[in-house]
Amino acid sequence: MPQLPIYLDNNAATRCDPRVVEAMLPFFTEAYGNAGSRHHAYGWKAAEAVDEARQLVADSIGADAKEIVFTSGATESNNLALKGAAVMYRRQGNHLVTVQTEHHAVLDPCRRLQREGYEVSFLPVDRFGRVTAEQVGAAITDKTILVSVMAANNEIGTLQPIAEIGRVCKVRKVLLHTDATQAVGKIPIDVEALQVDLLSLSGHKMYGPKGVGALFVRRRNPHVRLEPLLDGGGHERGLRSGTLPVPLVVGLGEACKLCGNEMPEEAKRCRALRDRLWQGLNENREGLFLNGHPEERLPGNLNVSFAQVRGEALLMALKNIAVSSGSACTSASVEPSYVLRALGVPDDLAHSSIRFGVGRFTTAEEIEFAIKEVTQTVQRLRLMSPDFQMTLNQ
Which CATH number does the domain housing residue 371 bear? 3.90.1150.10
pLDDT at residue 312, rounded to an integer:
83
Q: Do 183 and 277 fall within a single domain?
A: no
Share of the chain above pLDDT 90, in %: 86
Closest CA to 348 of 309, 299, 301: 309
229 plus 335 within the same structural domain: no
The pLDDT confidence band at residue 390, using thresholds 50, 70 and 90, is: low
**Which of residues 223, 258, 293 is at a domain's end?**
258
Residues 247 and 343 in one domain: no
- List CB contacts of 157: < 8 A, sequence separation 6 or more: 11, 182, 292, 293, 297, 298, 300, 301, 302, 303
Summarize the confidence of residues 54-80 as an average pLDDT: 98
d(CA 23, CA 49): 10
Print the domain residue range for 343: 6-13+263-393
C-beta atoms surrounding 121 within 10 Å: 18
State the pLDDT confidence band at 169, using cuts at 50, 70 and 90.
Answer: very high
Burial 312-340 (b: 16+ CB within 10 A, else e): eebbebbeebbbbbbbbebbeeeebbbbb
**pLDDT (0 to 100) of residue 394:** 46
Of the candidates 110, 256, 270, 329, the residue annotated as catalytic is 329
Whether 126 and 232 map to the same domain: the answer is yes
* Number of structural domains the chain divides into: 2
Mean pLDDT on 149-154 = 98
**Per-residue confidence band for 284, with pLDDT thresholds at 50, 70 and 90:** low
**One domain for residues 32 and 76:** yes
280 and 353 fall within a common domain: yes
- Report whether pLDDT(184) > 90: yes
Q: Is 329 a catalytic residue?
A: yes
Confidence of residue 331 (pLDDT cuts 50, 70, 90): very low
- 83 and 147 part of one domain: yes
DSSP secondary structure string for all residues of 250-278: HHHHHHHHHHHHHHHHHHHHHHHHHHHHH
- Both 306 and 224 in a single domain? no
In a domain, residue 1? The reply is no
pLDDT for 151 beyond 90: yes
DSSP-derived 3-state class of residue 202? strand
4-8, 101-105, 130-134, 323-327: range with lowest mean pLDDT: 323-327
Domain presence at residue 308 = yes
Whole-number Å distance between alpha carbons of 336 and 349: 9
> Between these two residues, 385 and 379, which has the higher pLDDT value?
379
**Are 386 and 275 contained in the same domain?**
yes
Q: Are 71 and 114 contained in the same domain?
A: yes
Residues 210 and 308 reside in one and the same domain = no
- pLDDT above 70 covers a percentage of the chain that reads 95
pLDDT band at residue 393, thresholds of 50, 70 and 90? very low
Query: Which stretches within the chain are classed as H helix?
Result: 18-24, 26-29, 41-61, 74-88, 104-115, 133-139, 162-172, 191-194, 246-282, 311-317, 338-342, 347-351, 364-384, 386-393
pLDDT tens readout for residues 83-119: 999 999 999 999 999 999 999 999 999 999 999 999 9
Of the residues 258, 283, 304, which one is the last residue of a structural domain? 258
What's the pLDDT tens digit per position in 209-260?
A: 999 999 999 999 999 999 999 988 888 887 898 999 999 999 999 999 999 9
For the beta carbon of residue 102, count every other beta carbon within 10 angstroms: 24
Sheet with 213-217, strands from edge to edge, namely 68-71, 213-217, 198-202, 175-179, 144-148, 95-99, 119-123
